[in-house]
Amino acid sequence: MKRAMRRIRFFSLLVAATLFVQNAAATITTILPDSSHHQGRAYYGTRCIEFAVYDTVTNPDEFIGADGFTAPGTGRYIYAYQIFTNDASTFPAEYFAIGGIGENALAEPVNDNIGWESDSPGDPGVEPDRAYITSSSMLGTMGAWEFDDSPLVAGEHSYFLVLRSNMDWTWGTYTFNKTLAGEPPIPGSPSIPEPGTLALLGIGSLLTLLRRKRYV
């Protein structure tokens, strides 16, 4: 009897969890134009990232021809991302970055190939403050968008965040944590020992030499 009750409880929790996930996903409305090349979504806690890659050679009108959208740069492929924060989001999103961009994947000057586009005239998203290409020891070359002045709070979504490249897609990484630039000095670097420390080191070395002579 107890086993049966445990199974029923487990099954009930599983169904409830499944329904919760489905309801959470259902609240996200896809705004990105459909792509015949590549499209999908990823989840990061209470945030969802919609993404699509458009091939402007085989299907030139799938993004640019949809509602008059534009994209920076002149590369063949348009990479578009859009962030959604659901109503359970606690912390506003102030930063988003895509990492692992291949070497020479973006034409020079690289910052001409990253930007954003207003997503929907009827329900416009939050516009980023700036977009740029940078690098990180963890993520390599990455494209970053900042929302410092207008963070994405619960229930909001972003503009289309757009990259342009002549390189076809491969799997990358993403983060919502801002990476600090530069290498500021921190405590812990080797330094010159104080006089007292030098004296102790000298005594230790002398005792070691005396022991060696004793056993020779």
Domain positions in the chain: 32-175
CB 131 within 8 A of CB 114: yes
Q: Which residues contact 77 (CB under 8 A, 6 or more apart)?
A: 37, 53, 54, 55, 56, 164, 165, 166, 167, 168, 169
Paired with 95 in beta bridges are: 146
Nearest to 67 by CA among 120, 122, 127, 126: 120
Pinpoint the alpha helices (H) of the chain.
Answer: 2-26, 195-215
Rounded to two decimals, the pTM is 0.71
- Under DSSP, the state recorded for 157 is B
Per-residue pLDDT band at 162 (split at 50, 70, 90): very high
182: helix, strand or coil: coil
What integer pLDDT is reported at residue 56 of this predicted model?
96
Asked if 198 contacts 105 with a C-beta cutoff of 8 angstroms, the reply is no
The pLDDT value recorded for residue 214 is 52
Between these two residues, 26 and 61, which has the higher pLDDT value?
A: 61
Q: Is 91 helix (H, G, I), strand (E, B) or coil?
A: coil
More confident residue, 136 or 57: 57
Give every CB contact of residue 42 below 8 A, 6+ residues apart in sequence.
48, 49, 51, 174
In this prediction, residues 166-184 reach a mean pLDDT of 81
Q: Which residue from 86, 90, 60, 62 is spatially nearest to 75, judged by alpha carbons?
A: 60
pLDDT band at 16; cut points 50, 70, 90 = very low
